[in-house]
Amino acid sequence: MSPQVSLSPEQKEELATIANQIVAGGKGILAADESVGTMGKRLKNIEVENTDENRRAFRQLLFSTEGEMADCIGGIIFFHETLFQSTDDGIPFTQLVKDKGIVVGIKVDKGVVPLSGTDGETVTQGLDGLHERCAQYSKAGAQFAKWRSVLKIGDNCPSPQAIRANAEVLARYASICQQNGLVPIVEPEILPDGAHDLHRCQYVTEKVLSAVFKALNEHNVYLEGTLLKPNMVTPGHCCVTKFTHEEIGMATVTALHRTIPPAVPGICFLSGGQSEEDSSLNLNAVNLCPLSKPWRLTFSFGRALQASALTAWAGKDENIALGQEAFLQRAKINSLSSKGEYIPSGDTSEASNFTLYAQNYIY
């Protein structure tokens, strides 16, 4: 057994610096990396046509939000197409974002494919040519990447096979990213679909995260230069029992406490179909949990940051300011939640409380 040098001290320092910058006090991530198909669903909900131009317009709305946005958002995850788009004035989005001190990220996976012999489980593809793609993305201004693996809870799920396959592929992805100076966000999402309770989700989350970190260890991934994007521990969507935010906070932090080495600088939760408000309240509860939490605990939200903004914009130019205001409000609230300082005032828009759950969610 020999420690081949996989990363030089300079490479390690660069990765660790980027990772810490993204999750620095009070900041989280805007996940704006919806694929074309997924944006289609979003835009359909507000009766807007899914064109290149409309997708660009909405991302422009988000990225050009002024003021405190940059105090709340440490990183933005782009979809491939968006990385090469510009504002109306021809300013590349990457530059617009960087000039605000926000780190540019890029989704690099190529979606899920079935694992034969399992009960509808999947693994994520995208490793082919990933090294070259990462090099290109790095040149184009990206400093972090994201890859989503998906697991689900059921009578036979997640199977050991699905856990192992997804942990393995996440570790390969992470290793390749780091070779190219990109901080890998490792996302092993366990879907909230099902009637299972909070404890079942906690148990499964602990097993999955343990497998993920074993794989990262085996693949010599430099943990100080990674970020984790897990699900919060929540009851299944059809679970009849209700749990409080505190219980969700405690179950979530306990699972992390048992599996995440302190070297990981930050944990950025996905919202996974929770309403905007629930996501914020749960993130807040996580940060108020009395267990020791040696990593930053913040957000990497897609729907939970954008739902109200989409509704307010509704595709109309005259609503851009309204859309930005709605987005900024969620950003500020989540920034507070990431410090355990959010106190709801009851002032949230209707869209905030509307559950964003879509069955068997795939981008």
Partner 1 sequence: MTHQAPALTPEQKKELNEIALQIISPGKGILAADESVGSMAKRLTQIGVENTEENRRFYRQILMTADDRVKTFIGGVIFFHETLYQATDDGTPFINIIKERNIVAGIKVDKGVVPLAGTNGESTTQGLDGLAERCAQYKKDGADFAKWRCVLKISATTPSALAILENANVLARYASICQQNGIVPIVEPEILPDGEHDLKKCQYVTEKVLGAVYKALSDHHIYLEGTLLKPNMVTPGHSCPTKYSPEEIATATVTALRRTVPPAVPGVTFLSGGQSEEEATINLNAINKCPLPKPWALTFSFGRALQASALNAWGGEKDNMQAAQDVFMKRAEVNSLASLGKYEPSIEPSTEGEGEGEGEGAANQSLYIENHAY
Which chain residues interact with partner 1 by CB under 8 A?
1-3, 156-160, 163, 199-200, 203-204, 206-207, 210-211, 213-214, 217-218, 223, 254, 257-263, 291-294
CB 327 within 8 A of CB 305: yes
- At its nearest, how many Å lie between partner 1 and the CB of residue 355? 26
Question: Which pairs count as long-range contacts for 108-113, CB under 8 Å and 24+ apart, including other chains?
Answer: 108/133, 108/134, 108/137, 108/145, 108/146, 108/147, 108/173, 108/177, 109/146, 109/147, 109/148, 109/149, 109/173, 111/35, 111/362, 111/363, 112/149, 112/150, 112/362
* SS3 assignment, position 101: coil
Give SS3 for 151: strand
Structure tokens belonging to residue 60: 């422009």
Give whichever of 11 and 348 is closer to partner 1, judged by the CB atom.
11
Residues 283 and 314: beta-carbon distance below 8 Å: no
Exactly one of 168, 229, 276, 277 is catalytic; which is it? Answer: 229
DSSP 318: G
- To the query of whether residue 293 is one of the catalytic residues in this protein, the response is no
- Active-site residue, 318 included: no
Task: Return the number of the residue (241 or 355) whose C-beta is nearest partner 1.
Answer: 241
| Catalytic-labelled residue, pool 187, 189, 224, 277 | 187
Question: Under DSSP, is residue 334 helix (H, G, I), strand (E, B) or coil?
Answer: helix
* 30, β-bridge pairs: 76, 301
Nearer to partner 1, 259 or 352 (CB): 259
DSSP, collapsed to helix, strand or coil, labels residue 256 as helix
Q: What residues contact residue 226 under an 8 Å CB cut-off, 6+ apart?
A: 15, 19, 174, 178, 183, 184, 185, 186, 216, 264, 265
DSSP strand pairing (28-32 vs 73-78): parallel
Residue number with CB closer to partner 1 (85 or 252): 252
Cα distance between residue 270 and residue 279, in whole Å? 9
Nearer to partner 1, 263 or 358 (CB): 263
Task: Kindly tell me which of 158 and 181 has the beta carbon lying closer to partner 1.
Answer: 158
- Taking the complex as a whole, the smallest distance from the CB of residue 214 to partner 1 amounts, in Å, to 4
Helix axes 320-337, 276-288, angle to 10 degrees: 20
- If the CB atoms of residues 11 and 50 are measured against partner 1, the closer one turns out to be 11
Closest by CA position to 134, among listed 161, 172, 90:
172
Closest alpha carbon to 228 in 215, 218, 238: 215
One-letter amino acid at 70 equals A
Query: Residues with catalytic annotation?
Result: 187, 229
